[in-house]
Amino acid sequence: MSTSSIQAVANALDASARVCVLTGAGVSAESGVATFRDPDGLWARFSPYELASMDGFLANPERVRDWYNYRRAIINSVEPNAGHAALATLERMFGENFTLVTQNVDRLHQRAGSVRVLEVHGSIHDNRCNNCDHVRSDDELVCPNCSSAMRPNVVWFGEDLPQDVFAAAEGAARTCDVMLVVGTSADVWPAAGLPMTAKMAGAQIVEINPNHTSLTQHVHYVLAGTSAVILPQIIEAMT
């Protein structure tokens, strides 16, 4: 698929009633939050299985908590970028006909003003009880309800996504006219399946990513560039 024009994508958005956006770690890269799978990403430097799985947590909860605290500190020290801001603007244009599905756990979308956000992989800012699913935003290590260990409220390898949140994401994918797929390698399932769900239901799919992904050959429009550059240009070109 060759590179499309910004104007063609802006026209497709102008012509659509319902819009869904799927974002991944790439959207936050220009804020200074490392992605996972890029050559300089987190998984090139750290062992994913030790840090983001239940086995890794049970083997060494302190190491896992330290790593999440390290990432929280980075996230708290950065700002949302122009790409996050453009998606908040797009939501204001479409109102309740807009859904933002994010795989990110950093809450930068909300800090930029997005409201309708489905966090399909949870949030790094909260902890959850391993046993009774009680969620807290403090750094309590033990659940006050059942005394089990608290853990980061994110989806780890081998774990299911929050069912109600993912069902809402699938609903938005099935009913949108245009889906923007931004800054995701589209390698992490089941979130990676949402663009194909949208396509099969008749939506036009737009990929915004500086790199080729496994999705690229299947989409209708490819904008090869970074989200903080491309997304504001799309908004600018809309009428």
Q: Which residues bind ligand NAD (CB under 6 A)?
A: 24-26, 28-30, 33, 35-38, 41, 103-106, 121, 183-185, 187-188, 209-211, 213, 226-227
Contact by Cβ (8 Å): 109, 102: yes
Bridge partners (DSSP) listed for residue 135: 128
Alpha-carbon distances of 60 from 53, 126, 144, 151, 171, rounded to whole Å: 11, 19, 21, 12, 38
**3-state SS class at 66:** helix
Closer by beta carbon to ligand NAD, 35 or else 114: 35
Closer by beta carbon to ligand NAD, 35 or else 197: 35
Please confirm, yes or no, whether 84 is among the known catalytic residues: no
Least spacing, CB of residue 20 vs ligand NAD, in Å: 16
Least spacing, CB of residue 134 vs Zn ion, in Å: 5
**Alpha-carbon dihedral of residues 154, 156, 160, 161, nearest 10 degrees?**
30
Least spacing, CB of residue 50 vs ligand NAD, in Å: 16
Binding mask 143-172 for Zn ion (x = CB under 5 A): x-xx-x------------------------
Q: 143 contacts which partner out of ligand NAD, Zn ion, none, CB within 5 to 8 A by kind?
A: Zn ion
Residues 12-71 that bind Zn ion (CB under 5 A): none
CB atoms inside a 10 Å sphere around CB 210: 15
- Of the candidates 84, 121, 212, 218, the residue annotated as catalytic is 121
Least spacing, CB of residue 116 vs ligand NAD, in Å: 18
Q: 37 contacts which partner out of Zn ion, ligand NAD, none, CB within 5 to 8 A by kind?
A: ligand NAD
Side-chain-facing half-sphere of 223: CA atoms under 13 Å: 24
**DSSP structural state of residue 156:** P
Tokens read off for 215: 């999705």
Which residues in this chain contact Zn ion in the complex, by CB under 5 A? 129, 131-132, 134, 143, 145-146, 148
The set of catalytic residues is 121
